Structures are given as C-alpha cells and as structure tokens.
Amino acid sequence: MRRIEFHRIGGPDVLTSLSATPPRPAPANRWCRSPRPASTTSTSTTGKARPPSNCSTPPAGEAAGTVTAVGEGVHHHAPGDRVSWFGLSGSYADHAIVTAASAVAVPDGITDKTAGSMMLQGVTAHYLATSTWPVQRGQTALVHAAAGGVGQLLTQIIKMRGGRVIATVSTEEKAAIARTHGADHVINYSTDDFATATLELLGGRGVDVVYDGVGKGTFAGGLQVLRHRGMLVVYGLSSGPVPPFDLMDLNVNGSLFVTSPNPPSYLQNPDEFIGRIKDLFTWVSSGSLDVRVGARYPLAEAARAHDSPENRRTTGKLLLVP
C-alpha cells in the first residue's frame, strides 16, 4: 500500500509518499480500503504547524472507504460496508485503520467522494451555525472566506435556518461561488473595505454574528461590524494568529462576545457526533446542502494539494484519491 508521511516540520514539500505494509484491524477497529481522504493542514491555536509526535507521522484527514475487515468485537459493521470518518492519523493512505467509534455508515445515494469531503468541514459548519451562535430567522451573519469549504457549507446552513448572509471573498470568481450557495450580499475584500461596506449595507446597525476563518487579517474589522451583544466566532487562522487585544474593546463597542471553538468541544459524546453527521447526510440527500469538490489530486501528490490552500487558490474541498 501507499501512504503519506512527514518526518520534519515545514511546508508542503515535507509530505512524502511511501510504500508500507497494509495494517490489520485490532479489536474494536475496522480496516478500510481505497478511502478518499480530503486534504487538510493541521495547525495549533497559535497558527503554527503541530510537530510530529515521532519521526514518522502519517497526517490525519477526512476520508471515506469500504470496509474490508473488522477487528474482534466489531458487530455493527461488516466487510463491504461504506463508512466515513475524520481526524484519525493515517488517513492519507489507500488502506487505513479506523476506530469503530469514529466510523459512520454512508447512506445509499451519497458517494464516497461526497462523504469524504464533508466530514470535518460539514461538522464545523453545523456546530458554528446551530450551537456556537444558533442563527435565528431574520438574523444577519457575516461569513468570511465564503467560497472556501467551510464557508460554502456555513452559508447554506445559515440560509436554511432563515438567516441573511453577507459573504466576503478575495476574487470575483469566488464571489460567483458564494452567490451560487445563497449569499445575499458579497464583498470582495481585495478591493473594498469589508467593515465599511457591511455597515453601509445595514445602515450602520451591524451584524448579529461574524464567522471568521481568516484570523489576523479580519479580526479587527470583525469587531467593528458587530451589533451590541453580537458575537465574533474565530474558527480558523488562514492569515495568521489573532494579535492580542484589549478586553475593554468588547465592553466599549457594545458588550461584544468573542469565541474560538474547536470540534472536540462540540462533539462531547457519540450522540452529539452522530446527530450532526445525520443532519448533514439528510441535507445532502434531500438536495438542501451542496458539497463542492474544488479539485482532485492523486494520493502521491499530497504536497501539491497542500500548496493550493496555502496560496489561496482553492474553492471548496480538495480530495486525495488513491
């Protein structure tokens, strides 16, 4: 089998394709063949890449595949079943060990490509719009990087809940994608100041919530566009870590809230995890949620796939295909 590993911290070039012995399932594990892992970059809350725990570390990721063997004690899945998962080390491979508790059955009518593309970003968009700030009908949200993987899904879920979306993007091509997924207004922050443009659209009132996957480059402007008691949700740091700020800025600008959520906090138990995944599968099956695949790369070209988001060339999800 082939899998991707990295042996030192660095850019996309540290990812290496290696030959390896196919793993065998232990008790409570299952073995999946030909998964479709989605390309992700692991970062810490400081915006720096997490170091490998040893000198030979397979990156984690989202993936989907077909069960070929199960470990002792696994009874609710069998060889031939299709499952998807996320966040497990070793998913950048054509065979992977998946813990029984992490694998979710993929419904008929949803392809492996779609299932592998939607797990982490779909769950993230779900808890952002339903739990972190549960969007209510008539509320207005500002969604940064709305043409990205999370941004596209988040926009659609907000619209399903009756919210209004002001989207920010960096190019006119991405603006068209944001509109396709339901954004009510789109601001190109490469040519316009998004804070000024947002307040002009709303007559100075401000938005109820800002969903910010960009971080350093948009944080200060996000605070400017919030209404009183609004919330700035920082869930990504693509432009770098948020700089220190004075807590009293939240006070004097209208009793504002700032939070930085992560998936484990919103997946506290199996019921919460499965509930969010079931919602996503239901929405996709009904046609209410469109999962866009931006590009597909052979597994061996994982380094090239990682280079694309770092250079802001992506729209939607990137897939690595064994």
Q: What is the pLDDT of residues 244-253, one digit of tens each?
A: 999 999 999 9
pLDDT at 36 over 70: no
285 contacts: CB under 8 Å, gap ≥ 6: 107, 109, 110
Distance CA 180, CA 188 (A): 15
* pLDDT over threshold 70, residue 1: yes
pLDDT at residue 188 in the model: 97
The whole-angstrom separation of Cα 297 and Cα 38 is 10
CATH numeric code, 121-264: 3.40.50.720
The rounded distance, in Å, linking the Cα atoms of 123 and 263 is: 8
Q: What is the pTM of this model?
A: 0.85
Please give the Cα distance from 1 to 319 (Å, whole number).
18
Q: What is the pLDDT of residue 219?
A: 97
- Domain 2-106+292-321 identical in fold to domain 121-264: no
| Tokens, residue 287 | 């046609």
Q: Characterize the bridge pairing of strands 164-169 and 95-99.
A: unpaired
Burial class (CB in 10 A: 0-12, 13-18, 19+), 105: middle
Q: What average pLDDT does range 37-51 have in this prediction?
A: 43
Percent of the chain at pLDDT exceeding 90: 65
Buried b (16+ CB within 10 A) or exposed e, 157-186: bbbeeebbbbbbbbeeebbebbbebbbbbb
Q: DSSP E strands: which ranges in the chain?
A: 2-6, 15-19, 29-33, 62-70, 82-86, 95-99, 104-105, 140-143, 164-169, 185-188, 207-212, 226-234, 257-259, 293-298, 317-321
Residue ranges of domains in the chain: 2-106+292-321, 121-264
Confidence of residue 305 (pLDDT cuts 50, 70, 90): confident
**Percent of the chain predicted with pLDDT > 70:** 88
Mean pLDDT across the stretch 49-57? 40
Amino acid at 50: R
pLDDT band at 24; cut points 50, 70, 90: confident
Q: Is the pLDDT of residue 20 over 90?
A: no
pLDDT over 70 at 309, yes or no: no
Residue 187: phi and psi, rounded to 5, are -120, 125
Half-sphere CA count of 241, side-chain side, radius 13 A: 10
**CB proximity list for 81: less than 8 A, separation 6 or greater:** 66, 67, 105
| Pairwise pLDDT comparison (259 vs 20), residue with the higher score | 259
Note the pLDDT of residue 50. 44
What is the distance, to the nearest Å, from the Cα of residue 119 to the centroid of all Cα atoms in its chain? 8
User: According to the model, what pLDDT value does residue 61 have?
Assistant: 72
Question: The domain 2-106+292-321 belongs to what CATH superfamily?
Answer: Medium-chain alcohol dehydrogenases, catalytic domain (3.90.180.10)
> What is residue 60's predicted lDDT score, i.e. its pLDDT?
64
The pLDDT-based confidence of 230 (bands split at 50, 70, 90) is very high
Is there a contact between 165 and 146 (Cβ–Cβ < 8 Å)?
Answer: yes
The pLDDT tens digits for 65-81 are 999 999 999 998 999 99
Is the per-residue pLDDT at 257 higher than 50?
Answer: yes
